[in-house]
């Protein structure tokens, strides 16, 4: 044919024919089924991944809800504690006030009793002293005689 390197167009077409059959066969028998399987597996794992992500999102949502609820409950507990503390304090204050009142009353009663006792003792002591003075006076009068009494009375008149 006069073409350099003995290039033969008929043989090129034969090679082409052969290669096209090979390419078609390989595509249908190997490439497409293997690729389809790989795509199917990729889809399968992607679906699994999506489902897992959805579950994770749902779990996170539930966790958030529980956390919110827990925070509410804790706040409620705090308020209840505070209220209970206030009530306890009020009760303690009332008890203290009552105890103080009682203490004051007892002290007053004791003071009154002591005063009464003191007065009673003083009265008794005075009565005793008076008795002793009159007894002593009687004794002196007896010993000094009647003149002494007269002198005394005279002098008292003079002074007036």
Residues in contact with other proteins by the rule CB under 8 A: 5-8, 10-12, 14-16, 18-19, 21-23, 25-27, 29-35, 37-38, 41, 44
Comparing CB distances to other proteins, the nearer of 19 and 95 is 19
Q: Cα–Cα distance between 91 and 72 in angstroms, integer?
A: 28
Q: How far is the CB of 47 from other proteins (least distance, A)?
A: 13
Q: Cα–Cα distance between 40 and 34 in angstroms, integer?
A: 10
Q: How far is the CB of 63 from other proteins (least distance, A)?
A: 32
Comparing CB distances to other proteins, the nearer of 7 and 107 is 7
Helix, strand and coil content of the chain, in percent to the nearest 5, comes to 95, 0, 5
Comparing CB distances to other proteins, the nearer of 29 and 77 is 29
Q: How far is the CB of 34 from other proteins (least distance, A)?
A: 4
Q: How far is the CB of 1 from other proteins (least distance, A)?
A: 12
Measure the CA angle with vertex 98, ends 105 and 84; round to 5°.
Answer: 170
Q: Cα–Cα distance between 124 and 126 in angstroms, integer?
A: 5
């Amino acid at each position: 044919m006069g073409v350099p390197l003995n290039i033969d167009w008929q043989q090129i077409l034969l090679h082409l024919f052969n290669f096209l059959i090979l390419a078609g066969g390989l595509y249908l028998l190997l490439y497409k089924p293997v690729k389809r399987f790989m795509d199917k597996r990729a889809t399968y794992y992607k679906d699994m991944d999506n489902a897992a992500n959805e579950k994770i999102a749902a779990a996170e949502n539930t966790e958030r809800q529980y956390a919110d609820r827990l925070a509410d409950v804790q706040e409620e507990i705090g308020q209840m504690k505070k209220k209970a503390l206030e009530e306890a304090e009020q009760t303690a204050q009332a008890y203290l006030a009552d105890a103080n009142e009682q203490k004051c009353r007892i002290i007053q009663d004791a003071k009154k009793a002591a005063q009464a006792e003191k007065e009673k003792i003083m009265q008794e002591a005075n009565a005793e002293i008076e008795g002793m003075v009159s007894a002593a006076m009687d004794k002196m009068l007896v010993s000094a005689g009647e003149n002494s009494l007269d002198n005394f009375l005279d002098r008292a008149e003079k002074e007036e």
